Homo-oligomer: A and B are copies of this chain.
Amino acid sequence: MAFDGRRRVVIEGVAPEIDGGLFPIKRARGEPVSVEADIFVDGHEVISCVLLFRLEQDKDWRETPMQSLVNDRWRGMFVAAEVGRYFYSLAGWVDRFKSWRRDLQKKADVGEHTELDLQTGALLIDEAAARAAAQDARQLVQAAKTLRAKNPGLSERLARALSDDLLRLMALYPDRSLETRYAKELAVVVDREKARFSAWYEMFPRSCAAKAGKHGTFKDCERLLPYVASMGFDTLYLPPIHPIGRAHRKGKNNQIKTAANDPGSPWAIGAKEGGHQSIHPQLGTLEDFKSLVRQAAALGIEVALDLAYQCSPDHPYVEEHPQWFRWRPDNTVQYAENPPKKYQDIYPLDFTSEQWPELWQELQSVVQFWLEQGVRIFRVDNPHTKPLAFWQWLIGAIKKDHPDVIFLAEAFTRPKVMYRLAKVGFTQSYSYFAWRNSKPEITEYFKELTQTEVREYFRPSLWPNTPDILTEYLQFGGRPAFMIRLVLAATLGANYGIYGPAFELCEARPREPGGEEYLDSEKYEIKHWDRERADSLKELIARINHIRKENPALQNDWSLRFHEVDNEQLLCYTKQTKDLSNVIAVVVNLDPHHVQSGWVKIPVEALRLDPLESYQAHDLLTGARFLWHGARNYVELDPQAIPAHILRLRRRLRREQDFDYFM
């Protein structure tokens, strides 16, 4: 028998624990890690439990006591105070002193306590004294002596035995020689705050020229930074900025035929000018790019790059590393497909080539290169078409030295694959939000994202549109549809983004009926946008991003709760800070065509609003202040005006006696 059979405490049912501990949970810096477990022992003795935690680089564990809930469930908590990687585990032991004390109390309650009980306790105190620091040891020795003494009387010594002082002192020196340590050390990836709370703006640099018909440059982007900043975005995501292939270059509207001046898709990466570590000459120089990154930073904006691991047929890799591609019997490479989409201008990399280690290393060097240029955020193109093990390796390797790097997975694919990508390391993930429009669809999906284990590793990013996704809802809903989807994205999710200026200008024309591609998509041509158009949503966007910054309730996903409304077109939800100092209720009219009204049901008790008193519902979108009363309140929303309320609920209204002039 190699193990010690005397370790009797059992620890099981630990949560969070993703796939038996195979994957870390995620937190942003400063967030709590609350851990629960079933911890128990045979028989009737009292146990004590601690939660252990440490930063990866620390050798020593820190400890925090766990509290007993019900049904042998225990809970402990620590704060993920630093960016990096934490580990946590648990320990529990039979607490002989607490057991003895409980039994003594029971006996005392019925007057059955004896000298023998006190002597038994004294022995436990002796043992603790041997473990204790000098000062405490003296106190303990004294306590043991008192318990054994002939004087004072039994009842007086009993009081000493049961005293809180003695309990506190003994709790410092428990006998943990036979404690059970949970067999696993579970990991937490702690990201910086932006992983939890971010507002992204996607913009094609080549469409940023001041004059129509010109190819935009990084300098043009710099000029537009105040525009982006004025809307309140903190992340500026640029589609690939690399040289674009010429072979099989796509024409306007994804045509196979190209006109002479067609710029091609930025995702067809690589040409004779270079590949993933080069810059498209028409955008400017590497120095220009670095200047953009700096200028953006000065306005509180980070530049995010696109990581699209694929090659145009004239990417330098194709000649230099033909073994990284899968060649067919006719010595061609099958272009990429994502049925029914065909990417004739793109060769996929063969991640299972014989020379996969070299390929993987090269791809890592791409990230490394852009890290050196000051980039810390990557939006990863189609990660679900590359091996999951590759991402686990790559992200793990990068974050080991750069734990502040953020990877956003652009995987619109089957749910298990999306979730696995998050498990293997992606910081944020595009979600199905774009296609969740009705109340039951939204409710069911966001419950899954925010109230199940999924939330421990999958941080959804909510995009109402992307260059690939112009939903039917937006196509047919007009400007109100854009407002509705904007409010939902920005308030259902702490992380969201839009593809602009198509979004703020309510661009809604599809290439073909039933499809989700934009007509005259920016993917295949240079656009010139009128950013100052009167009907632009930029001011609403600015307002909403401002509200997000001012209200910490909107900076997390986990507190989201949906509430009853007696109208299927009205969606109502709340978010709040843990201490309830900031409570936001959002009511959205999901119908872009008609005025809708109904009675919402606010969980006044849970939000600690007095169900019998009035409270203020301050609409942060319009400035209006409503006096609400109790749980049920009336709401009416006109999509032509503004299709939503974003209400800050204030618990107590000022009354006459709150003012100086009262009395």
Instruction: Tell me which residues across on chain B come within 8 A of A332, comparing CB atoms.
Output: 116
Docked complex Cα distance between A72 and B12 (Å): 29
Contacts of A393 in B (CB 8 A): 1, 5
Residue A534 CB within 8 A of the other chain = no
Do A72 and B416 touch across chains, with their CB atoms under 8 A apart? yes
Which of B19, B42, B178, B389 interacts with A384 by CB under 8 Å? B42
Interface range on chain A (Cβ under 8 Å from partner):
35 or more
A120 touching B351, Cβ below 8 Å: no
Contact A352 B43 (CB under 8 A): no
Shortest CB-to-CB span from A483 to chain B, Å, is: 34
Cβ contact within 8 Å between A417 and B385: no
- Shortest CB distance A256–B (Å): 14
* A106 interface contact, C-beta 8 A: yes
Are B42 and A387 in contact, with the CB atoms below 8 A? yes
Chain B residues with CB under 8 A of A300: none
Interface residues of A in 1-43 (CB under 8 A from B): 1, 3, 5-8, 10, 12-13, 19-21, 38, 40, 42-43
The contact of A40 among B7, B44, B337, B414, by CB within 8 Å, is B414
User: A370: CB under 8 A from chain B?
Assistant: no
Minimum Cβ distance to chain B for residue A184 (Å) = 9
CB <8 Å contact, B120 and A388: no
Q: Which residues of B contact A71 (CB under 8 A)?
A: 414-416
Q: Is A211 an interface residue (CB 8 A)?
A: no
**Complex contact B178–A352 (CB within 8 A):** yes
Q: Which of B338, B339, B390, B416 contacts A106 (CB 8 A)?
A: B339
Quick one: given A330-B116, A351-B5, are A384 and B339 in contact (CB under 8 Å)?
Answer: no
Whether A44 and B338, one on each chain, are in contact in the complex, defined by CB atoms closer than 8 angstroms, is yes
| Contact residues in B for A21 (Cβ distance below 8 Å) | 20
Instruction: Determine whether the beta carbon of B385 is less than 8 Å from that of A43.
Output: yes
Q: Is the CB of A352 within 8 A of B6?
A: yes
Q: When each residue 369-395 of chain A gets 1 if its CB lies under 8 Å from chain B and 0 otherwise, what string results?
A: 000000000000000111111100100
> How many angstroms between the C-alpha atoms of A178 and B8 in the bound complex?
43
CB-based contact B387/A8 at 8 Å: yes
In contact, A5 and B387 (Cβ under 8 angstroms): yes
**A503 CB to closest chain B CB, in angstroms?**
30
Given known A21-B20, A71-B416, contact A329–B123 (CB-CB < 8 A): yes
Bound CA span A386–B42, Å: 6
Given A5-B393, A357-B5, answer yes or no on A384-B43 (Cβ-Cβ < 8 Å): yes
Q: Which residue of B lies closest to A391 (CB)?
A: B42
* Cα separation A389 to B338 with both chains bound (whole Å): 53
Copies of this chain assembled into the complex: 2
A42 to B348, CA, bound (A): 13
**Is A608 at the interface (CB under 8 A from chain B)?**
no
Confirm or deny: A412 has a beta carbon within 8 angstroms of a beta carbon on chain B: no
Q: Is A360 an interface residue when CB atoms closer than 8 A count as contact? A: yes
What's the Cα separation between A24 and B339 when bound, in Å? 43
Cα(A338)–Cα(B44), bound, Å: 8
**A338–B42 alpha-carbon span in the complex (Å):** 12
Residues in chain B near residue A344, CB distance under 8 A: none
Complex Cα–Cα for A643 and B53 (A): 58
Bound form: Cα–Cα A42–B352 in Å: 12
> Given contacts A42-B385, A388-B42, is CB(A417)–CB(B72) below 8 Å?
yes
Mask, A116-142, CB within 8 Å of B = 1, is 100110010000000000000000000
CB-defined contacts of A417 to chain B, threshold 8 Å? 40, 42, 72
Task: Report yes or no: A356 in contact with B8, Cβ–Cβ below 8 A.
Answer: no
Decide if A356 touches B6 in the complex (CB within 8 Å).
yes
Chain B residues near A402 (CB-CB < 8 A):
none
A328 within 8 A of B: yes
How far apart are the CA atoms of A106 and B339 in the complex, in Å? 10
A420 within 8 A of B: yes
How many angstroms between the C-alpha atoms of A352 and B38 in the bound complex? Answer: 22
CA distance A123 to B330 in the complex (A): 12
Shortest CB–CB separation between residue A355 and chain B, in angstroms?
11
Cα–Cα, bound, A332→B114 (Å): 14
Q: Is the CB of B38 within 8 A of A416?
A: yes
- Measured CB to CB, the closest approach of chain B to A325, in angstroms, equals 15
Chain B residues positioned under 8 Å from A357 (CB to CB): 1, 5
Q: Which residues of B lie under 8 Å from residue A388 when comparing CB positions?
A: 8, 10, 42
Nearest neighbor of A421 in chain B, beta-carbon distance:
B42
Please report the C-alpha to C-alpha distance between residue A357 and residue B6 in the assembled complex, in whole angstroms. Answer: 10
Residues A420 and B339 in contact in the complex (CB < 8 Å), given A116-B330, A352-B178? no
Chain B residues contacting A337 (CB-CB under 8 Å) are 44
Q: How far is the CA of A10 from the CA of B386 in the complex (A)?
A: 12
Q: Which of A304-339 contact B (CB under 8 A)?
A: 328-330, 332, 337-339
Task: Map CB proximity to B onto A163-186 as digits: 1 under 8 Å, 0 otherwise.
Answer: 000000000000000100000000
Asked whether A120 and B329 contact (CB < 8 A) given A43-B384, A384-B43, the answer is yes
**A337–B337 alpha-carbon span in the complex (Å):** 72
Judge whether B5 and A360 touch: CB under 8 Å. yes
Q: List 14 A-B contacts (CB under 8 A).
A: A1-B357, A5-B387, A8-B351, A8-B352, A13-B416, A38-B416, A42-B387, A42-B388, A42-B417, A43-B386, A44-B338, A44-B339, A71-B414, A116-B328
Sorted from nearest, which 10 A-B pairs have the closest CB atoms? A20-B20, A6-B352, A119-B329, A72-B416, A8-B387, A43-B385, A38-B416, A5-B356, A42-B387, A116-B330
